[in-house]
Structure 1
């Protein structure tokens, strides 16, 4: 059957003409040299908005559309969207994607009318990966700049560079070279979560993110448990916070799940190397959940999905132990 491409909007779709006008998926693919010879591509348009305006529900709707396409015989799926939230949406897709067929997310850093526009090359590479035998079973992948990244590890690391996407903790999975998909690493193991979340419950499940800063007393966390179902803390270094903040976080952890991550952008939270008040071992003893290598943004995605599915504290901790 070929590939189904679902177009969501973003820089790759900015027309450069009438203000607010977006290119359709068909217009995006029409600008890709050699695409017709590569594989049949059926195009679907959905949620043509900047990626900063996408919602969990819209991404899960996209997964449902992609799943139907695979059930009807598609060899793989490509999703085009803005890059601002691509690292989060790709991880959400990966959490619930149940198929062997690849689902590949891509976008662009330069608008189609700009010199050196990267959208066509990224779409071509994404379609190649979506049809590649080597990508089967890898779950959701992010493909830009002829690089293949696992959704679990990919990060946007630069505001404007076409080479913005990187996977600091694991390295990229592969490259597209002379039209050939070269997978260099084995994708991380996956255990997909159920995709059929109750949408009303998902909308009602709010998860906060608190980035710890110098001399942070956490005063704005007071009463957070009354409006949020969970909290992700982006701590210093290996998972540290000011000592004065530790009791506040411990008290919150008695009421809602509180997940401990690092704000550094790479590396794991530790468990038992430091022991001062506010250290990682102190916080874990107070009931915080270790996110391992997951960054704060992906940890928030996972925590919200887990809580919306009705998972309790033990199940949440087990899920982070498996994926972090």
Structure 2
């Protein structure tokens, strides 16, 4: 039995100085060699370098390919799987993986906020914690997890909430599922898993495009039409509980007649309401115009879910039902 580590680059694997900043140089073997205590774990680590790219350059297809490789590792006997990547898109990668991860074995994402050239880099501790979570019986059947800063988060809830802090990751709507304390994995709650999405055809996924519009003060109505052109779906990050300026409401209603339009909140926590406010541009008004309520999902996770649903051929009713389950 072993824990398999897939490395995708990012701050956790950066070292050395280049003109203009640090660069990715550490292989998985070099990365793990720098982690005190990792070699002493009961489960040996099977290190597999995938690619060293900034997380901003990752694609859905790459993440889905990684999920397939992780699944093959579990089928071959791995106790769990760890993925290291850059933190900029970690919340989206983990959520994407969670939508299709069918195994009881933990799939654990982690990364770092401080690169190894800085004082107090957090990468080694995060990698050690992630390996412990991936090997822990208590972490089974929780789907995809994020282990960072000695906290354990569910992929469906976690968000990056700070640009530089080592405590950047939080789950504003749920809190962490548990912690790693003195090397022990302590799970405090076990949310039920949400049904998985059906398999996604990679070519169809590549051809499926979804736009994201975030509501702003004095919003540009004309921009919305241009943004949604040649797209199969749209996610709206509305004000507060799901509001937009009144002038946007009929435009969004017209778009909802030809594509799924999902309403979320730009705030980063809390749900889109359903029937509290009734003015033009309110959540109730937008739902009457055909927008799908995104619930507790933030705009970025809603975009991931909508794009995968569209790529599987889901119709409007199936999309609304999926957001009711996941949101």
Structure 1 unmatched runs, 5+: none
Which of 241, 244, 249 is the equivalent residue of 1:241? 244
Which of 87, 95, 99 is the equivalent residue of 2:99? 95
- The change in CA–CA distance for 1:127 and 1:219 in structure 2 (over 3 A counts) is same
Q: Is the 8 A contact 1:217 1:242 kept in 2?
A: no
How far off its partner does 1:190 sit? 2.1
> Superposition pairs for residues 273-292 of structure 1, below 5 Å?
273-292=276-295
Aligned twin of 2:261: 258
- What is the TM-score of this pair, normalised by structure 1? 0.98
Aligned twin of 2:320: 317
Aligned twin of 1:80: 84
Structure 2 unmatched runs, 5+: none
Aligned residues: CA RMSD: 1.1
Aligned twin of 1:203: 206
Aligned twin of 1:106: 110
> Superposition pairs for residues 189-200 of structure 1, below 5 Å?
189-194=193-198, 196-200=199-203
How far off its partner does 1:113 sit? 1.9
Give the secondary structure class of the aligned counterpart of 1:143: strand
> Superposition pairs for residues 168-179 of structure 1, below 5 Å?
168-179=172-183
Aligned twin of 1:149: 153
Stretch deviating more after TM superposition (41-50 or 232-241):
41-50
Superposed CA offset, 1:112-150 (max 9, x none): 121101111000000000011111000100011000000
Aligned twin of 1:10: 10
How far off its partner does 1:217 sit? 3.8
Aligned twin of 2:74: 70
- What is the TM-score of this pair, normalised by structure 2? 0.97
Q: Is the 8 A contact 2:143 2:193 kept in 1?
A: no
Give the secondary structure class of the aligned counterpart of 1:42: strand
Aligned twin of 2:128: 124
1:8 and 1:197 map into 2 onto residues whose CA distance is 22
Give the secondary structure class of the aligned counterpart of 1:239: coil
Superposed CA offset, 1:277-302 (max 9, x none): 00000000000000000000000000
How far off its partner does 1:154 sit? 0.3
Aligned twin of 2:273: 270
Q: Is the 8 A contact 1:225 1:256 kept in 2?
A: no
2:30 and 2:205 map into 1 onto residues whose CA distance is 34
Stretch deviating more after TM superposition (38-47 or 68-77):
38-47
Q: Is the 8 A contact 1:47 1:58 kept in 2?
A: no
